[in-house]
Structure formats: structure tokens, C-alpha cells
Chain A
């Protein structure tokens, strides 16, 4: 019972207590707050904010082998990227990689989530099995992929399997196109599909069963593709948008598998590997590297905003549908549970 409605057991009714607005303040914890908060604040400043500002400053200087440069070059480092064919090639590599990995991961993780969600038992077991690879280090997975699964020898695991079905073995899994894409996409798929599967699974389990029952009453066959298209997909719209954005960012940040599997091959050198070589390789060109990092950050922000605009996280069904998911039917409205409607019942 709130203070404003409390009634004393006397002859007088107390005046309603003034309502407090804003967050509740707990007295006497100021010192505790700062004691726990300060280390994190210092860490944030030292390891995130200061390097960001310093990187921004370095991008305007010629800074080879030093983080205390003296030669101001203005936007020259940025201008260099516009004519740097290797950088443009790295962006093209990212686009190719994203075109492979994003749809495949989306389809695989959603498919697995739907299959596991439909299991009558052992759900937890299968969920764990598919999620376990997420705990594996990218570097370790790359070593296994390179030395065992996709080595070019006849005795390699994949070549052995190909031999069993009568297909010639491939010698240059990592030295010839398009084979290297199979290796790069498969290792990332194995590592991350379980995580996105969990997100979709959470989304699936949030869909009320009454919707499926209502759809079945309307004539949709349970478990059929129309049920999936008309009910499941629209209900997963927000989850799908989040997964799509997370995957795009993850693809943009791809480094480990490219660095460990294909090294410095210009055809498979995404932006982060290219910038790593510039800033932290033998070149140690921190000025150009910082400029490149800012350019990449800007591209990622623009891509994220564009994706949010086109697909959106909003769950409202008002307004026109846009973007790749515009084909989805509108989300069925949930019945309102206002008191007026309750009274009418």
C-alpha cells in the first residue's frame, strides 16, 4: 500500500504524503559508490577514452614508430585511403565475406533454433552441444581447421571425405580461390552459429502458444511452412534485426581467422588485418593506422544506422514497411486487455 493511500486508525485522515519523484537516493553510500566505481572509471578513461582521443590526434600527424609525433599533416592520412587500392580491396573482401557469412549464419542459426524448439525432450542437451563451440578460441579453431580438416594432403579430413564420395581432393584449400572462402566461412560458422541460435531460441520461446493455436484454428497446419512464414518469422522480426546487426559488426571485425588461415593474401585481407599490418606490423605507421581506424568506425556506424533504418528494431506495425524484411506479413495484433474491454466481457 502506498503512502498516499494509507489511512490512520484515528478519527482524522492523514493528508496524502507528497510523492517523491526521481530515483530513490540511498543515504550513506557515497563512499562505497566511489570506491567501487572509481577503478572502472579510471580503466575506462585510461584504456578507452584516452586512446580514442589520442588515436584521433595521431590521425592528423605523421607518426611512424612513435606515438609522440611532431609533423602535422592534417587530413593527408585520410586522403591516402581514398586512393589506396589495397584498402579498397580489403573493403571488397569484407563485402564478399559478409555476403557469404551473414545469410548462411542467419539461416543456420534460425534453422537450428526452430529444430531444437520443436524437440519434445533433450532440448538442453542439443542447445549445449551447438553452443559449446562458442567457448573455443578462434586461434585454436583456425589451427585445427588448417592442420587437420583442410590441410591439402590426401589424408586431410575433408579430402578423405571427398575421396569417399568420389570427388578429387583439393590441395590448395588456403592458397586458391574459391576454396579459401569455404575454410574461412566454415570456421566462423562453427564458432558462432550456436550463439545466434540461442538468441533465436529465446525469441521463439517468447512467442505465445495461443498464436499458433489461433492460426491452427484459422486453417494453418501446425509445423508447416505457412505457419512459420505467417506467425514465427514476423514474431522474430526484432530478434532477426538484432542478429543481423550483430553479425554485420562481427563480420566487419573479422580478424583472427583471416590472420591465422590466409596471412597476408590481398584477396583475403579484411580491413582490420590491413590496418593491423600498417599500425602494428613492421611499418608501425600509427598515423595512417589511426586514420584508417576512424574511417572504419565511420563506415561501421553508417552501416549500422542504415541497417537499423531499413530493418529497424521497432515492433510497431504502423507506418510503411521498409527494407529486406518488408515482405513479412504484419504482426498479428495482441488483444487489448484494457479495463474497459474487460468490463465489456
Chain B
């Protein structure tokens, strides 16, 4: 024990210096928060990144697939928190990622070489993929990712309520408005389109006969008479108090619908297992056609496997991505359907999956196959902001849909030209 005289200023400074040096060394040794060794075979060691999935067992499954790969050792980094930001930083700085999943492929990053082009892997098997699934990974003629999962969005409804009221699943937006109005009671709203009323608006772009951008990708193509008509119909439902709002959780979480707060809700396929477990009368239908030029659609979110442009093991990373998401198919079925509910993008795999052969699973798989739509990677934040603001002004402030869409179209096209 140090006496008072022994504990001099020099000793204190020495201890302080050691503390600072220790802190510095500790900072150097920080880990990335979710690294698990996949073990695996010999050769190269690859770092594979996933975002944190909510379903139990997914992390173990990802590790199991990595361990099953024989040509390289693969370590799985299960990234918690803000995946997009951390991934961007890693791709920019060369932060130890070789192969990773991504749900938003960015045109600028592709041009800057942050991703490795995977056209040579996907092109030969292009026809085996769900046609819409390749949209978000294709820029011009180049393919930048391998589709891993499809998440169709659609309407859920209570079959018993529909039968009791003598209503058939809606095929047009007018039918949907009529059904929602009919099923609205003091204790239950007819329809839930999210707390901001806008959850289905993105799908409505296609359902009204438009697309986010034209074929040439040099202008937006969302401003259609049908879209304005559809937004006007939502405005009317807001005024008639047919729509649920103020629910504790938003549309992506099926809790509000499961608790009986609405008879119909917009939702994602991921909610099906939970809903079927809690309710025995669940049905699904696609987004109905809107206006005279409209068509029924199912918008699909996607996750895709990519290879990092700054990886030092590009060939090994490409080989692993090809093996996991193209060559072998057992893991794809397992990944999509054994922990939650998603659609495998390889049509042959989806056709063989037992969970997609009947009931709501078959309905959703058929939607994905026949009327699935996906957004283009050229749809950047700059282009989307005027559109999102227009929707908000229409639905929250009662602005005129046609005028707002026209102004948004002009602003979006200005952003494309900049």
C-alpha cells in the first residue's frame, strides 16, 4: 500500500499515463459487435455481413450456412443497430466486409466501385429468378446483386367479417373503399393504411397504371390520373373516418390488426405467421386496380447479396455468394420460410416450398410470381422527396392530389436532371 508520501505527483502522473495508454490499447481492440466465426473450410477467410433479423434462429441459420461452405472460411457479422450507415462506412473505408446483404442498391455507389458487378454470375441463370426481383439490382445492363428474399406487401382481411357482410375480396379501389366503409363500426375501423394513411401509396403508383420512373430512367412516371383519383379516395376515407389512425404500432407490425382495431389492413408477408397463429379467419388480397388504367399489383421489398468493391478477396467472395444464393437451394428455402415468411426469389425453389403450396402462402407466392413489382435503384432520395412530400400534403393537409402530383413531378424531374 502506498503511503501518503509515496503517492507523489510523479506516481499519479505515471498511473494517469498508464490509464491513457491502456484506454488507447483497449480502443484498438474493439470488435464490431456481432462477429462469430463460421469455421468452414480452408483457403480464404471471408467476412459476411447481415443486418439483424427479428426472427428467432436466423443468426444461427446464417452461421450454419457459412460453416457448410467448404471452399473458404466465412465469419458471419450480425450487425445490430443502423445497418445501412455501418455498411456505407465499411464500403467507403474498406472496413472488413467481403460479402454482404443490402436492400437498397445505390446508383452512385455502383458507379464509384463500392460494389462488385455480378452480371457474370446472374446473367446465365436470369430466367430462373422471379422477374421483378432483378429490378432493384439492375442498373442499365449491369447486375449488382443476387436476390435473397422477396417480401410482398398486400392487404390482410378478416374473412368472417367479409362473409357476414356479403363482401368479396376487392379487385378495384372503389370496391376496397366500399368494403372499408361497410365494415366500419364504432368499435372497429374498416381499414388501416398506417398511422399516416400512406402505407399503400407506393404500391398505388403501379396499381394506378404508372411506374416510379420511365423505361429510359430520365423522368418520373408516377403522375397519372388514376394515382390522383386513388389519393382522392383515401382523402375521402379520412374525412369519413373509415381509416384507423393513432395505433400504438404502425402498419409493418400486425399488432393493431391482430387486436381487432380494423377489418382490413395493409401489411407485409412477414406478418402472416403471427396473424395465422392469433386469428383463424385471415385472408389476403393484392392492391386493387385504381382508375381506368389500373391493375392489381403486389409491391415487393427485397434483400440482395452483394460483394464489396474494396474486398481483397473478390473472387472468393463471388464464389461464396454464388454457392449460397444460386447453386444450392436447401438453404434458400430454409432461410425464407423456416424462421419467418418470405418468398424465395428463385421460382423453382418457391414452387417446391411446402409452405407456399396452399392457403395464404400460395396466394402470396402467386402474387409475387404474377403481379409482383419492385422499385428501380435509380429512385434516389433526391427524386423521392418531392413525391413523399406531395403524398403527405395530400393526406395530412388535404391538398389537391392532381396539383400536388404535378408539382412533385416537376421537382423530381429537376432532381433527375441535376
Q: Which residues of A contact B (CB under 8 A)?
A: 31-32, 35-36, 39, 64-67, 80, 85-86, 89, 146-147, 150-153, 156, 170-177, 263-267, 277-278, 280-285
Contact = CB atoms under 8 A, between A and B. Distances in A.
16 contacts: A35-B17, A36-B16, A65-B109, A65-B114, A66-B108, A67-B92, A170-B246, A171-B246, A172-B245, A173-B246, A176-B396, A264-B392, A266-B392, A267-B396, A277-B381, A284-B106
Nearest to A179: B246
A213 B197 CA distance: 62
Contacts of A151: 246-248
Contacts of A170: 246
Given A32-B13, A66-B112, A284-B108, 16 more contacts: A36-B16, A80-B418, A147-B249, A152-B246, A152-B247, A172-B195, A173-B246, A174-B195, A174-B196, A175-B196, A175-B245, A266-B389, A267-B392, A267-B397, A277-B385, A278-B381
B84 A282 contact: yes
Given A85-B411, A285-B382, A39 B20 contact: yes
Contacts of A177: 396-397
Given A32-B9, A175-B396, A153 B246 contact: yes
A156 B382 CA distance: 37
A153 B247 contact: yes
A64 B382 CA distance: 11
Contact of A263 (B20, B196, B261, B381): B196
B128 interface: no
Contacts of A277: 381, 385
A295 B404 CA distance: 28
Nearest to A281: B381
Closest 8 CB pairs of A and B: A152-B246, A283-B381, A64-B108, A266-B389, A65-B108, A172-B245, A171-B246, A65-B109
Number of contact residues on B: which range applies?
35 or more
Given A32-B9, A266-B389, A175 B246 contact: yes
B385 A86 contact: yes
Contacts of B185: none
B197 A266 contact: no
A64 B418 CA distance: 13
B104 A282 contact: yes
Contacts of B397: 177, 267
A282 B92 contact: no
B353 interface: no
Interface in B234-254: 241, 244-249
B246 A282 contact: no
B85 interface: yes
B92 A66 contact: yes
Contacts of A285: 381-382
Contacts of A156: 246
A285 B244 CA distance: 36
Contacts of A281: 381
Interface string B397-418: 1000000000000010000001
Interface in B264-289: none
Given A175-B195, A266-B389, A35 B13 contact: yes
| Residue among A147, A175, A280 with the highest chain B CB neighbour number at 10 A | A175
A146 B247 CA distance: 9
Interface in B151-199: 195-197
B88 A65 contact: yes
Contacts of A39: 20
A35 B17 CA distance: 7
Given A32-B9, A66-B92, A265-B392, A283 B382 contact: yes
A266 B393 contact: yes
Contacts of B16: 35-36
B92 A265 contact: no
A153 B261 CA distance: 9
A86 B389 contact: yes
Interface string B82-96: 001100100010000
Contacts of B9: 32
Nearest to A288: B382
Nearest to B407: A85
B408 to A, nearest CB: 11
A86 B245 CA distance: 26
A147 B249 CA distance: 8
A31 B104 CA distance: 52
B388 interface: yes
Contacts of B197: 175
Nearest to B246: A152
A216 B388 CA distance: 62
Contacts of A152: 195, 245-247
Nearest to B20: A39
A80 B397 CA distance: 26
B366 interface: no
